[in-house]
Structure 1
């Protein structure tokens, strides 16, 4: 599913974030130490190879909402943006912190003058953020920022499950008015 926001396109797809061959930067739902983990972080680290964890060593630890960037190594992308999402029910104010993940990631994409980025549903796996709330926050954040994004032409959400994709589609229709 595609949406037009200002001068950029927003896509929602089901897939593997580590296999986005036409995207310049993928976003890793990282842990504070930027190490290989489960879920998105595990998939990205496995696909990128051990050099990714080594490149992250000097950047860790990061704070909730912060974003840092590294090379993508063996991934089909140029860069990986690592952001630490909030643990639902623990990190407060969780909605603001989750929005900051998207804001800070997009600022890095702009700074690096990249045209495309792919996001997972940050914090919705092991960090237990409810998918509907996470979709609302991420989509509203991107909608609010769209007019100020000068370099980015494509933002893609890569959702792991059909259920998550349906939630994102439903929320996008309301928030983005398609």
Structure 2
């Protein structure tokens, strides 16, 4: 696991860093999901509220990436079901800050893979329409199913593996 010291990159007066997520971090993320991730959430299954779903996802694998004191992203990978969502804070990042965010995310993924001694597949689904998330997954080395599956809400999703 990458230490806070190595996962922390200075950005002006603020830092981008990874920490163990708290319930408060999940609530903040649920209340400020980026447009693409909020659309994904509702496209998967209708009638859900992120503020009710996200707190149930906290476990030993759940981390937050923060920009100063602000939640930039949260995610986890219990049982191989890898997930990651961003908040609207991501839209405020400069190109250099986005790159620093990506480097922390990539380093965290490498840590997860190194710690995956059981060889459990890291997988999930992403909405075909969430182009920003699909591009990020591609850069992180994801492979995707050839076709797509329809979500319970009736939208096309692709399964991916990291």
Same fold (TM over 0.5): no
Which has the larger share of strand? 2
Bigger RCO (CA 8 Å, 6+ sep)? 1
Tell me which interval the TM-score lies in, with the shorter structure as reference length.
0.3 to 0.5
- Taking structure 2 as the reference length, what is the TM-score of the superposition? 0.41
